[in-house]
Structure 1
Amino acid sequence: MQIYLENHLSTEDNETTAETISFWQAVLFWLKLGFISFGGPAGQISVMHQELVEQKKWISEKRFMHALNYCMLLPGPEAQQLATYIGWLMHKTKGGLIAGILFVLPSLFILIALSWVYIKFGHVPVIAGLFYGIKPAVTAIVFHATYRIGSKSLKNKFLWFIAALAFIAIFIFNIPFPIIVLLAALTGYLSSKKYPELFSHQTHSASHQSYGKAVIDDDTPIPEHAKFKWSRLAQIIIIAAILWSVPLISLFYIFGWHHTYTQMAWFFTKAALLTFGGAYAVLPYVYQGAVNYYHWLSPTQMIDGLALGESTPGPLIMVVAFVGFIGAYSHQVLGESQFIAGVFGAVIVTWFTFIFSFLFILAGGPIIESTHNQIKFTAPLTAITAAVVGVILNLALFFAYHVLWPKGFAGSFDYIAALITILAMLALFKFNQSVLRVIALSALTGLIIQMLF
């Protein structure tokens, strides 16, 4: 099936010239993207830009960046939402669903397999050595993420102040992440009324480089399906509500409210609505709930899960699949069928984490386009992003503590882990090495150390 996208209308003969993008051609691309989308959001967005804007010319630079700006204002993984948005723009709702699902599906299968290997063979010397080297690398990666997000979002002293307050709130007073988000949003909204200049910077700006005429070009009219209609909005919201509530009610009816599966569904519903600023923003909340409150996995396992998430394709937030698998497997929620329990747990948390990403794009795309540059909408999100920097710094310090003092401050300091952390930070900060390369070299270092000692 093909979609015809009008490029221009001749006023002399009223004939429409159309370009075509095959639906199945798009499906093959989204499938390929799901297997090559390494490098976190920045790497994934770069791959999409290179393929869709520069090479295939399916969408223009301006329209691509316009879509990216929308996704940056939404909770959820922006790279996955960008793929969903472009797929939706090209081939309506089915195109958005295919693009978004295929962006996630390969990493889900890969993480289920790796989670099983981890839980079954994690104590084997070779596997243990690999993870010994990876953990310090993950610590360095989170510090680097703090710097990267902070350098882009903390554009003035006021935003630095919000970041500092957020760090103090979670590090010293252990205030829950959702409350920090709400306070930051309220601060941004109220401050913007008197000092709008504090929130006037743009997250992304489109370059003026031209790669030739695109199928969806700068002057291509908005497709009919992308225009706002109350009836369409209501229909999408109702369908999404059914897709969210029916599985949750079913889990409650079958297992009860306090069962692990039901609590996972409810917890990751809340997590999905708080992921302003990307995966690193929601990781502290996932840690607070999965490690401290529910005890689905240990702090060390959380670090290992993040390492697996960093080294597999797909959005980094897919680390939740690891959390779901390990939590359900370890708690034996289905008795002796531990592997089946783990798979079911991974699928549950993935479903409830990503369903809202599709809702925000399919229902909110036309709305967000009309409100994108209004300060009353952007200021709260700018303040939230600033607060996220402080929260991620807290997460980095948490990782550093568990990696460098594996037995607590009363135990010995791990000098070898500290050295690996420093080398990984040098590779990231000074030499701009990719996350995958840093993880691979750190894993190899850990394996060598394991063999020697």
Structure 2
Amino acid sequence: MNDAPGTPRYTLWQMVMYMLRLGALGFGGPVALVGYMLRDLVEDRQWITQDDYKEGLALAQLAPGPLAAQLGIYLGYVHYRIRGATLAGIAFVLPSFLMVVALGWAYTRFGGLSWMQAVFYGVGAAVIGIIAISAKKLTEKSIRKDKLLWAIYLLLVVVTVTTESEVAWLFIASGILVWFLRAPPQWLKKGNLNAAALAQATMPSMTAGWLGTIDVSLLAQIALFFGKAGTFVFGSGLAIVPFLYGGVVQQHHWLNDKQFVDAVAVAMITPGPVVITVGFIGYLIAGLAGATVAALATFIPCYLFTIIPAPYFKKYGKLPAVTAFVDGITAAAIGAITGSVIVLARRSIVDLPTALIALAVVAMLWRFRKLQEPIVIAAAALAGLALYPLMHS
């Protein structure tokens, strides 16, 4: 291949096939998925530069929507622009969408998935090991020995663990702090900034109020609700879960509590983005049409929030001010990702067997760098099926 500067070292088809494989075999949720992209595309294959990866991660954290999907879309955009972003995004989401639709069909046909608790018992613990290793690699690669970035990183770890949520404004504040300290601007248009901040703060509530007054058919209601979820929820895929619960269970009464918990479990035991749980929920509400509408409504906003600002990130990303801003947001993002590992561990590691599974996964992935995660997940699922009945008899 041509390795000249600016020329991609891969074809668009190769990127699409990689995203298709990641969507079909990438377990562990957003933390692990962004780690896989760093390992595979930046370190091993060297298709994407470290700077392009950092820009994509920063943009994904700044914009609302699912983190891993937005990063995948941006990496598709880097060399192949709109066509690459579109095909990479579709390839990343499609495999897990088909899986959750199939599980939705089985769920409705056979009256629930009783085996899911046992599988998730083992898989949930293994996922903690996978994402812990991913968070370690992200930290080493992006924070390095920079004291300012370490301070931001540790602050976000503490905030995420304490609040059990991702505080979006801290990402922006971190970027501004590093920008002001390392490449201070000559002047600031305070009036414009205040107006922009006011618009950002009021838009979600105004739009939500307007959408809430419309009386439309079921599919249109699904499109409006999941469109709001994709437009106004920041953070990793798990950040959307409380929003979905409030609307799907409490507001619209489309699902009961047990069905919703099963939907989240389906997202965790299937590969690809956690947000794909919207496909399972949509299927339970209105069949295949509901699944399709829910998935499209959730992912189209995150696609637009990625490709619209992407040209400006590419054009101005090397300016000192922008580089400092991106460094600050990246440190905050990785701190939040690391904190989420601890939050998830509290929920998934519930006894000695799950703790041993998580530690065993960490040890294996540390020792055997080329070990494929799907093999680890399959082994953990079998362990869960064997151990869960013994621990809950």
TM-score (norm 1): 0.60
Alignment match of 1:188 (pick from 175, 178, 191): 178
Letter in 2 for 1:161: A
Q: For residue 373 of structure 1, give the secondary structure of its aligned residue in structure 2.
A: coil
Partner of residue 357 from structure 2, selected from 415, 420, 427 = 420
* Letter aligned with residue 140 of structure 2: S
The whole-number CA distance in structure 1 between the counterparts of 2:50 and 2:143 is 21
Partner amino acid, structure 2, of 1:440 = A
CA distance in 1 between counterparts of 2:121 and 2:111 reads: 11
SS of 1:87's partner is: helix
Distance 1:175 1:28 in 2: 37
Quote the Cα distance in structure 2 between the aligned partners of 1:329 and 1:282: 23
Show the counterpart of 1:130: 119
Deviation of 1:107 after TM superposition, in Å, equals 3.8
Counterpart amino acid of 1:143?
Answer: A
Q: In the aligned structure 1, how far is the partner of 2:168 from the partner of 2:80?
A: 31
Match of 1:172, SS state, is: helix
Counterpart in the other structure of 1:224: none
Contact 1:87 1:99 in 2 (8 A): no
1:178-257 alignment runs, 5 A limit? 178-193=168-183, 254=216
Paired letter, 1:146: A
- Matches of 1:157 and 1:50, distance apart in 2: 24
Residue type at the aligned position of 1:74: L
Report the Cα offset of residue 157 of structure 1: 2.3
Q: Residue deviations 1:364-417, cap 9 Å, x none?
A: 1xx434422222112222112212233223322222222233xxxxxxxx2222
Structure 1 segment 127-166 matched on structure 2, within 5 A: 127-155=116-144, 156-166=146-156
Match of 1:85 in 2: 78
Q: Tell me what 2:198 maps to.
A: none
Q: Partner residue of 2:274? A: 319
For residue 399 of structure 1, give the secondary structure of its aligned residue in structure 2. helix
Change (3 A) 1:42 1:84: same
Q: Distance in 1 between matches of 2:109 and 2:267?
A: 14
Q: Please tell me whether residue 397 in structure 1 is matched to residue 342 in structure 2.
A: yes
Larger of the two Rg values belongs to structure: 1
In the TM superposition, residue 423 of structure 1 has moved relative to its aligned partner by 1.1
1:299 Cα shift? 6.5
Q: CA deviation at 1:135?
A: 0.9
Equivalence for 2:197: none
Structure 2 matches for 1:12-51, cutoff 5 A?
Answer: 29=14, 32-37=17-22, 38-39=25-26, 40-41=33-34, 43=36
* Per-residue deviation, residues 61-112 of structure 1 (Å, max 9, x unmatched): 7887775565455325333322233333xxxx55654454344434433343
Conserved 8 A contact 1:325-1:346: yes
Gap runs ≥5 in structure 2: 5-10, 27-32, 61-66, 185-206, 251-256
Per-residue CA deviation, residues 191-213 of structure 1 (Å, 9 max, x unaligned), is 2236xxxxxxxxxxxxxxxxxxx
Q: Which amino acid aligns with 1:415?
A: L
Report what 1:431 is aligned to.
368
- Determine the structure 1 residue equivalent to 2:59: 74
Residue 189 of structure 2 corresponds to which residue in structure 1?
none
1:120 CA drift (Å): 6.2
TM-score, normalization by structure 2: 0.68
CA positional deviation for 1:328: 3.8
* 1:292, distance to aligned residue in structure 2 (A): 7.2
What does residue 17 of structure 1 align with?
A: none
User: Do the aligned partners of residues 139 and 174 (structure 1) sit closer, same or farther apart at CA in structure 2, a change above 3 Å counting?
Assistant: closer
RMSD: 4.2
Question: Which amino acid is the alignment partner of residue 77 of structure 2?
Answer: T
Q: 1:251 and 1:351 mapped to 2: Cα distance? A: 23
Where 1:74 maps in the other structure, the secondary structure is helix
Q: Distance in 2 between matches of 1:107 and 1:71?
A: 22
User: How many matched pairs?
Assistant: 335
Distance in 1 between the 2:213 and 2:91 partners?
26
**Gaps spanning 5+ residues in structure 1: where?**
8-25, 54-60, 195-244, 275-280, 406-413
Report the structure, 1 or 2, having the larger helix content. Answer: 2
> Of 224, 227, 247, which residue of structure 2 is paired with 1:262?
224
CA–CA distance in structure 2, aligned partners of residues 269 and 393 of structure 1 = 24
Offset from partner CA, 1:211-243 (integer Å, 9 cap, x none): xxxxxxxxxxxxxxxxxxxxxxxxxxxxxxxxx
User: Contact (CA 8 Å) 1:133, 1:417: kept in 2 or not?
Assistant: yes
- For residues 31 and 62 of structure 1, what CA distance do their matches in structure 2 show? 13
Contact map agreement 1:141 1:428 (CA 8 A) in 2: yes
SS in 2 for 1:254: coil
Identity %: 18
Aligned-residue offset at 1:358:
3.1
Matched, 1:350 2:287: no
